[in-house]
Amino acid sequence: MRGIITILTLAVLSACSSPVWPPERGGGMAERTPAARHAVFSKVTDSRRDRLFDRLMVLETALEAMIADGADRKARAEVNLAQKKTVRIRREIAGHLFGEAEKDLIALKERLNRIRNRIYPFNDRDEPRDL
């Protein structure tokens, strides 16, 4: 009996000790498949999610444009943190954590402004650029 329990325990827990990990930023099923729309949530929730997602898309487009202009060479750490923040915001929107997503969108916008001011320096007459 003890042997059967040991074998069953090892079989069940074998996935916990698996050496196979997804690649860095490879994500799991949440990033590979689009979130399903649930009929439980109201249209207000859907419109709020769509609004947050639209704001995220604008900021992601700005980040991609800055990377194309060389931001990943001039502000590598800031760009890396901004990319991680976009993944986090996507997960929060998919999980209906709209308040957290709004806070992180504000933080992402501030980070993108710092990146923009670093790669497009301004002189004394100019004002810092804002997204």
Q: Structural domain of residue 67, as residue ranges?
A: 43-121
Residue 129 belongs to some domain of the structure: no
Residue 31 belongs to some domain of the structure: no
Q: Residue 95 above 50 pLDDT?
A: yes
Q: Residue 120 above 50 pLDDT?
A: yes
pLDDT digits (tens, 9 = 90+) for 28-46: 555 555 554 444 555 556 7
Residue 131 belongs to some domain of the structure: no
User: What residue type is 29 in one-letter code?
Assistant: M
Residue 112 CB: number of other CB atoms within 10 A? 22
What's the distance, Cα to Cα, between the start and end of the chain in Å? 67
Residue 104 belongs to some domain of the structure: yes
Number of domains observed in the structure of the chain: 1
SS3 category, 29: helix
State the Cα angle at 17 between 15 and 20, rounded to 5°: 80
Residue 59 belongs to some domain of the structure: yes
Residue 44 CB: number of other CB atoms within 10 A? 8
DSSP state at residue 69: T
Residue 98 CB: number of other CB atoms within 10 A? 15
Residue 3 belongs to some domain of the structure: no
Residue 92 CB: number of other CB atoms within 10 A? 20
pLDDT digits (tens, 9 = 90+) for 43-72: 556 788 899 999 999 999 999 999 999 998
Under 8 Å between Cβ of 111 and 89 = no
The per-residue pLDDT for 12 is: 73
SS3 category, 35: coil
Rounded CA gap, 114 and 18, in Å?
A: 40
Residue 11 belongs to some domain of the structure: no
Residue 73 belongs to some domain of the structure: yes
